[in-house]
Chain A
Amino acid sequence: MKFKQLGFFSKASVIWLGIVMFMVIFGQWIPLPKPTNFDIDAMGVGLFDSLKHPLGTDANGYDLLSNVILGARPSMLISLVSVGIGGFIGSALGIIAAYKRGKLDYIVNTLFNIVLSVPALVLGLALVAVLATNPDPNIEVPTSRRVIVIILSLTIVIIPILGRIARGATLSWSNREFVVAARSMGMKDSQIIMKHIVPNVLPAIYAVAFLAIGVVIVVEGSLSLLGVGIVDGVSWGSMIARVRGDLEYAPHSMVVPVVVLALTVIACNQLGDVLRSQLDSREGRL
């Protein structure tokens, strides 16, 4: 589907996500004040009030714009990596299980159900608490370790979500006669899966993957809000967590990250929806 054919909201979503990706990739080279620059003179600068701080600052004088731009990377990194890896593993499991059926399918499906029954936040909390926290509160746990654990927990959450989509799509596609035809030609199962099942199942998967990215960004933010995210680092979630107490003094410092987060999630949802409806119409034709 070409860019021109998209509706207004879809075009806007693509543009916004483009901006976000720009921030992710090039953010560190944009000349900005350090996001954790404690500036007494610039505390609580309002929105659009100053050219030096276009989006204002929070109660500590941290520049909001630079926080947003530099915070994009951790937030997006976590969601893209966890959805990417989780999606890959989940889809592979789901496709193979659904194609082979029988006991394998039963086991994989049960595993999916077990993981799905655990709420994402609870899983994240548990894993971070166990793997990325030192009982001695004075010793800091490196941020990178935190990030890895968060990615790990979110990956585990995503695996069954996309895995079920893949499994459902595979179940319906592997009943088509062209799959039986491929077997009768003498194709090996692995070849059939790669050549005939995966290309047809992929659109369903990446349509939902987009939606999943949006969800994961919010989950990461929630984890930060709960104190187990990247609290001291720079990310959208931790921005929100940090300014929790300053709502009365500098309300815009909460509004900015929330709006940015919301726009990104909406954009992901919109594109995921568009992909899904495109998929439905194409399937309908077939």
Chain B
Amino acid sequence: MAGTGKAHLRNTEDTVLSVEDLVVEFSLSKKTAVQAVSGISFDLVQGETLSIVGESGCGKSTLGKAILSLLPATSGSVIFGGRDMTKLDKEAVRNLRPQMQMIFQDPISSLDPRYTVKQLVAEPLEIWSRGNAEEQASKVEELLDSVGIDPAIAGDRKAYEFSGGQCQRISIARSLALEPKLLICDEPVSALDVSIQAQILNLLQDMKERYGLTMVFISHDLSVVKAVSTRILVMYLGKICEIATPDSLYDSPKHHYTHALVGSVPIPDPTKKVAQVILEGEPPSPVDPPSGCRFRTRCPAATELCAAEEPQLRDVGGGNYVACHHPRS
């Protein structure tokens, strides 16, 4: 599965974000470099939640940071608000930041332990001078209320006094202070207990509706992703395997990697068969990826064509796209 190609780009008026042929490369030494993201393209329409799914080393976190220009892009374009962020200077990028915010994986580490909750949530407002002190204070209270934190009780306490779930709520409140258009969530519930995950996912859903957000949801957990997505993008070793709607992705995955991924998730029901698919072997090294389709070394349907030619994303109906020479039916 090497997934390049832009057959799946829609280019409508509603497009909030459009990423084309994005490559993010890190140099390990003078001679070797590794491409964490190898030519990814996708777009986001207003009000959508696009989930980016993959296992460790697939490049999804790097992709998330590159979209926000927190990491430099080696090539390709990230078009937001009609402008290509990769071509803008530092100050111009900075001015776009209020419109695109991020939630991080480790809720406690994403809050500075030296400041109180109120100070943390007010910080974005201060940086961009949104309103006077009074207006800022009341906005902070409103935000904390909307995420289920009582500002009177919690407002003057420090972040480390709270649990993971509460810290994530505070992070969400902070990221909404500037009323962004785009919210990128990088594994927002992975570090939380199972019974708390549902609370935070529902909260994100509520905030999305309330503020009219468009979201990118990065996760390794397919079950979580299924519940929140409009579309799902599956990544493997820096490339796209498949883009599909949640139901069709799970009911009939077209790509062999997606099939293995879906089949590996343990179902909490003893009457259902355990792990229908066991994927053999280990992922190849991203420093020296296989030629042609990167998944071919572990794919049960690999042929010579797969080694010779990198598959492009193509339409398989229903708004779904696959990058595979021999997709499953």
Contacts and interface: CB of A to CB of B under 8 A. Distances in A.
In their complex, do chains A and B touch, with some C-beta pair under 8 Å?
yes
Interface of A: 176-178, 180-188, 191, 196, 199-200, 285-286
B138 to A, nearest CB: 20
Contact of A184 (B102, B105, B109, B113): B102
Nearest to A180: B70
Contact of A199 (B98, B111, B114): B114
B162 interface: no
A177 B110 contact: yes
A188 B112 contact: no
Contacts of A178: 109-112
B177 to A, nearest CB: 9
B94 A188 contact: yes
B95 A186 contact: yes
Interface of B: 65, 68, 70, 94-95, 97-98, 100-102, 104-106, 108-114, 123-124, 127-128, 160, 171, 174, 178
Interface SS of A by simple majority: helix
Q: Which of A185, A187, A188, A286 has the most CB of B within 10 A?
A: A185
Contacts of B178: 185
A183 B123 CA distance: 12
A100 to B, nearest CB: 13
Contacts of B97: 184-186
Contact of B128 (A176, A181, A182, A186): A186
Nearest to B111: A178
Contact of B70 (A176, A183, A188, A191): A183
B98 A186 contact: yes
A253 to B, nearest CB: 50
Nearest to A179: B112
A177 B104 contact: yes
B123 A185 contact: yes
17 contacts: A176-B109, A176-B110, A180-B102, A180-B110, A181-B104, A184-B97, A184-B100, A185-B97, A185-B98, A185-B174, A186-B97, A186-B128, A187-B123, A196-B112, A199-B114, A200-B112, A200-B114
Contacts of B123: 182, 185, 187
Contacts of A196: 112
Contacts of A184: 68, 70, 97, 100-102
B127 A177 contact: no
Nearest to A181: B110
A178 B103 CA distance: 10
Nearest to A187: B127
Nearest to A282: B113
Contacts of B102: 180-181, 184
B127 A191 contact: yes
A186 B109 CA distance: 19
Nearest to A175: B109
A182 B109 CA distance: 12
A183 B109 CA distance: 15
Given A184-B70, A187-B127, A199-B114, A177 B106 contact: yes
